[in-house]
Amino acid sequence: MTEDELDPVIHTALTSLPEPDASLRDNHIASALQEVSVGPSRYRRVLATAAAVIVVLAGAFALGRSTAPAGPTPQVSAPASTIPKAALTTCTEQFDSNAELVHSYEVNDVDYAIVKVGDETFILEVRSCSYVTQFSATTD
């Protein structure tokens, strides 16, 4: 018996707890699942508020620029996509804090984002920030 081992008979007695009652398990899981609707909706409210604040600030900034005296204007390169960057960023971060936005595109008025998390690549529908499909890196 090595340092890391317990006597097999004791180990068996310790680990052989009777399986929990199925109805108890189902009740426990059902109660826990009731928390789901509480958590994400709060999270979405926070995100919606943050997005609204960004929109208001962006609007105020644009208004200020339009009423400012004419002068030298810095050149700003055109965005690669017509999808609002804030929405892309929010969706990417909401999906995974380590997600990296790779590309965004639009098909039939629906905005999509391609994000990368580690070796996995995901396509998200930006408006609802919902998962569409996933690709994994292969070593062919």
Partner 1 sequence: MSVSDFTVKRAQKGDKGAIDALLRAHYNTVHAVCHRIVINSADADDATQMALIAIVRALPRFDRRSSVSTWIYRIATNAALDELRRIKRRPVPVDDTVLENTTLESTSTIDDQMLITSALRQIPEEYRVVLVLRHIADLDYEEIAAIVEVPVGTVRSRLARGRAQLTEIVGNQLVEPHRQTSDSQIINHKEDLR
Instruction: Report in angstroms how near the CB of residue 3 gets to partner 1 at its nearest.
Output: 7
Record the tokens describing residue 33, joined without a space.
Answer: 């699942």
Smallest distance from partner 1 to CB 108, Å: 24
Q: Is 96 in the site for partner 1 (CB under 8 A)?
A: yes
CA dist 97 and 22 (Å) reads: 36
Spatial neighbors of 118 by CB under 8 A, at least 6 apart, are 98
Q: Is 18 in the site for partner 1 (CB under 8 A)?
A: yes
Site for partner 1 in 108-137 (CB under 8 A): 117, 120, 130-131, 134
Segment lying near partner 1 (by CB under 8 A), choices 13-21, 45-53, 66-74, 107-115: 13-21
- Within the chain, where are the H helices? 8-15, 22-67, 85-95
Residue corresponding to tokens 């070796």: 119
6 is a contact residue toward partner 1 (CB under 8 A): yes
